[in-house]
Amino acid sequence: MNLSKFFASAQYVLLAIILSVSFLLMYDSSQKEAAIMDELAHIPAGYGYVSELDARLNPEHPPLVKIAAALPLLFLDLNFPTDSTAWKDDVNGQWVMGSQFLYESGNDADRILAVSRLGPIILMLLLSLLVFVWSRSLMGSWWALLPTTLTAFSPSMLAHGHYVTTDVGASLGFILAIYFFGKFMLHNTKKNLAYAGVAYGIAQLLKFSAVLLIPLFLFLIAVFVFVKAFNHRVSLLSKLGYFVNYSFRYLGYLAGIFAVGYFLVYLVYIPITINYPMEKQKSDTTYILSNFGGENNTIPECTITAPKARCLADLTIAMTTNTIARPFAQYMLGVLMVTQRAAGGATGYFMNEVSNAGWWYYFPVVFFYKEPLPSLILIGFALLLGIGTFLKNFRGPSRLKERFFTYVNLNFAEFSMLSFIALYWLYSMSSPLNIGVRHVLPTIPLMYILTAGRIKQWTRQELDLSYGLLRNILTVIWSTLKSSFKTAIILFFVLWYIAEAFLAGPYFISYFNELADGTPNGYRIVTDSNYDWGQDLKRLAEFTEQNNISKIAVNYFGGGSLPYYFGDKAVAWNSTMGNPKQEGIEWFAISINNLQSSIAPIVSDLHRNPEDEYPWLLKDKSPYSPDARAGTSIFIYKL
């Protein structure tokens, strides 16, 4: 038997097993959960794109994930309520259309959810495969399995990988674009430029925040060109000449990448705006961007005195009236909406506080508690190894430039990953939009790749050929024993990590590590899409059936429907309605996201009326000690 072929095939067998198990975990969870909040908007939007060729719904998110989710729905016999006011007259009536399409048009909502979630699951598997491909080029096939495993079994990835949302798609887009951009920078061929352009375009079609690739690519080009120019052993004036020459050349390349990418964006938006009436598109865009560029901005057109942001809005509105330009106007509308949303923030609960101002430390804290402990240990250890290597090789400021040049030349892929992680985290931490660890998901697979690369170096022992034969033999024996011990340690952490994924299922979205006192108590730290996105409504319906409950009051947060799953057994409730027991209802259920927002202390300029703070629940029950739970996120009280 050819051992090399056997081991080569074994690597791909393991890869197939990893991807298959990851698929099964996501598929199993997807079948058991109700629609989460964003799916209520994304699913009807995607179906409108592919069935009606009309992009009027959910313009604030790019279309590719929604198209992938909706294409299989074309094979179902579905009723899409295009005669409703939400479709015909409302501006972006996505939430009403979602309720009508899923629950009020005679469709099987659970079947729609199950089928539409297959597209995002496939994107998640493609992300894991991309991690393997890039890692293999850096550290070989066997070691590439480590970051692939960490990605494929990440509770956060498994959670958001099976929802019709854009976060795992964003991870795929960012990493794909950075991977092919790096390949082009090292090998300036037309084929690589085309690949880099297509990858950039795909990233823009998966997440509007992918515009962050523009400053990232400019920074990487600046560093690459600087190193390339100043590595020449010539006079300073000649180095500056090289720098200017290289700068123009690579900026020209970048313009080509952007041209290819945005042409792809344009091609994708053409079919989904064909049946979007021009007059409707213009009126919708005008209304949505009416106050863009400042509160109550009434500037009717772009003038010299107008804010620059307003000029972009007016340009986008003008483009909607041009047959050729209006597909790209729909893309621009989405980018501007996301910019406006990020600046505005969102009200949320975090560490016993409710605020709409955000917390700069939100993402580090949430990542620390939601990342499995074994991967946290591996990442921390790899970081210490990297710092140790830097300090060991540091020879003073005079040699720092030389070592930096060498590092960038030899490790441009690693430098690109580190730069993106730094840029993305700085951007995220400076934004008041704190609604979940999902917003930093694009950086996590890259952390895994960097971690695996550093740990591989730790396990490697080089021979010193200046030693004698006997000493080298002893060194080989000793290094083999050490390597086996190190491998056993790594294997232990990997198995622990995989076990965490299995134990977390099917409640992946609510996963919290041991430092947060586990999943059951994660809601004490943070909620929203970190814990409660409405996924447990079907489990609440099962609870009422199993306990023969004839009537239950429900304060629900999510994309599910009380009438659809409960009929007349559930009554929509809120704090101001008082104690349900006064109406003869002996059971009360509330989404933990709503509960925390109602009773946790407010720390910003938000206002909350006393009657909205569940005074009757605080008086009669201990809110954090429910009588039962539906899944992890819905608290149930016997009144």
Digit-coded pLDDT (tens) for 192-211: 999 999 999 999 999 999 99
Residue 185: name the closest of 13, 346, 411, 401 by CA.
411
Residue 364, burial from CB neighbour count under 10 angstroms (0-12, 13-18, 19+): middle
pTM for the model: 0.93
Residue 592: name the closest of 543, 551, 541, 533 by CA.
533
Q: Containing H/E element for 634?
A: strand 634-638
Residue 388 has what pLDDT?
Answer: 86
pLDDT at residue 386 is higher than 70: yes
The dihedrals phi and psi of 117, each to the nearest 5 degrees, come to -75, -10
Question: Is the peptide bond prior to 63 cis by the omega test (within 30 degrees of 0)?
Answer: no
Q: Are strands 552-555 and 570-572 parallel, antiparallel or unpaired?
A: parallel
Is 283 in a helix, a strand, or coil?
helix
pLDDT at residue 431 is higher than 70: yes
**Residue 180 near residue 203, CB atoms below 8 Å:** no
Measured between alpha carbons, how far is 44 from 279 in angstroms, rounded to an integer?
A: 22
Cα of first residue to Cα of last residue in the chain, in angstroms, is 70
Measured between alpha carbons, how far is 525 from 596 in angstroms, rounded to an integer?
A: 10
CA dihedral (155, 71, 331, 346) in degrees, to 10, reads -40
Question: What single letter denotes the amino acid at residue 593?
Answer: N
User: For the chain, how many structural domains are there in total?
Assistant: 2
In this prediction, residues 168-181 reach a mean pLDDT of: 98
pLDDT at residue 266 is higher than 60: yes
Measured between alpha carbons, how far is 209 from 584 in angstroms, rounded to an integer?
A: 49
Domain stops at, among 328, 344, 360: 344
Which residues are CB-contacts of 49 (< 8 A; sequence separation ≥ 6)?
55, 63, 66, 67, 70, 272
Residue 479 has what pLDDT?
Answer: 59
Instruction: Show the tokens assigned to 259.
Output: 């041209």
- From 287-301, 405-419, 431-445, 509-523, the region with the lowest mean pLDDT: 287-301
Identify whether 33 is part of a domain.
Answer: no
Measured between alpha carbons, how far is 130 from 437 in angstroms, rounded to an integer?
A: 21
Residue 519: name the closest of 168, 159, 163 by CA.
159
Top mean pLDDT of 116-120, 287-291, 401-405 is at 116-120
pLDDT at residue 374 is higher than 70: yes
Distance of CA 186 to the CA centre of its chain: 28
Residue ranges making up the domain that contains 331: 277-344
Measured between alpha carbons, how far is 221 from 247 in angstroms, rounded to an integer?
A: 8
Residue 465 has what pLDDT?
Answer: 41
Residue 23: name the closest of 129, 112, 132 by CA.
129
pLDDT at residue 76 is higher than 60: yes
Q: What is the crossing angle of helices 109-116 and 94-103, to 10°?
A: 110
Identify whether 226 is part of a domain.
Answer: no
Measured between alpha carbons, how far is 578 from 615 in angstroms, rounded to an integer?
A: 9
Residue 471 has what pLDDT?
Answer: 54
Residue 359 has what pLDDT?
Answer: 93
* Tokens 């209802």 found at: 585
Other C-beta atoms within 10 Å of 465: how many? 6
Question: 353 to each of 75, 362, 527, 593, how far by Cα in Å?
Answer: 46, 12, 11, 12
In this prediction, residues 169-181 reach a mean pLDDT of: 98
In this prediction, residues 369-373 reach a mean pLDDT of: 98
Identify whether 584 is part of a domain.
Answer: yes
pLDDT, mean over the chain: 91
**Residue 601 near residue 352, CB atoms below 8 Å:** yes
- From 166-170, 226-230, 552-556, the region with the lowest mean pLDDT: 226-230
Domain stops at, among 344, 362, 379: 344
Other C-beta atoms within 10 Å of 184: how many? 23
Residue 38 has what pLDDT?
Answer: 97
* Tokens 């049946």 found at: 275
Which residues are CB-contacts of 603 (< 8 A; sequence separation ≥ 6)?
353, 354, 355, 357
Identify whether 464 is part of a domain.
Answer: no
Q: How would DSSP label each residue in 445-481?
A: HHHHHHHHHHHHHHH-----TTS-HHHHHHHHHHHHH
In this prediction, residues 556-562 reach a mean pLDDT of: 97
Instruction: Show the tokens assigned to 193.
Output: 């430029």
Q: Containing H/E element for 144?
A: helix 141-152
Domain stops at, among 319, 344, 369: 344
Question: 101 to each of 62, 63, 112, 306, 398, how far by Cα in Å?
Answer: 20, 18, 10, 41, 66
Identify whether 605 is part of a domain.
Answer: yes
Distance of CA 277 to the CA centre of its chain: 32
Identify whether 574 is part of a domain.
Answer: yes
Residue 396 has what pLDDT?
Answer: 63
Instruction: Show the tokens assigned to 626.
Output: 């429910």
Instruction: Show the tokens assigned to 255.
Output: 């313009």
Measured between alpha carbons, how far is 119 from 117 in angstroms, rounded to an integer?
A: 5
In this prediction, residues 417-441 reach a mean pLDDT of: 95
Identify whether 322 is part of a domain.
Answer: yes
pLDDT at residue 110 is higher than 80: yes
Within the chain, how many helices (H) and strands (E) appear?
26, 7
Distance of CA 126 to the CA centre of its chain: 14
Measured between alpha carbons, how far is 72 from 410 in angstroms, rounded to an integer?
A: 45
**Residue 26 near residue 525, CB atoms below 8 Å:** no
Residue 360 has what pLDDT?
Answer: 94
pLDDT at residue 111 is higher than 70: yes
The residues with which 555 forms a beta bridge, in sequence order, are 590
pLDDT band at 306 (very low <50, low <70, confident <90, very high): low
Which residues are CB-contacts of 189 (< 8 A; sequence separation ≥ 6)?
none
In this prediction, residues 137-151 reach a mean pLDDT of: 95
Q: Containing H/E element for 629?
A: strand 628-630
Identify whether 373 is part of a domain.
Answer: no
In this prediction, residues 36-45 reach a mean pLDDT of: 98
Residue 354 is given by DSSP the state E
Residue 394 has what pLDDT?
Answer: 66
Residue 412: name the closest of 258, 249, 134, 183 by CA.
183
Residue 302 has what pLDDT?
Answer: 62
Q: What is the crossing angle of helices 469-504 and 141-152, to 10°?
A: 20
In this prediction, residues 532-558 reach a mean pLDDT of: 97
* Tokens 């880099």 found at: 196
Residue 466 has what pLDDT?
Answer: 44
* Tokens 């070989």 found at: 140
| pLDDT more than 70, % of the chain | 91
In this prediction, residues 382-391 reach a mean pLDDT of: 88
Residue 462 has what pLDDT?
Answer: 47
Residue 126 has what pLDDT?
Answer: 98
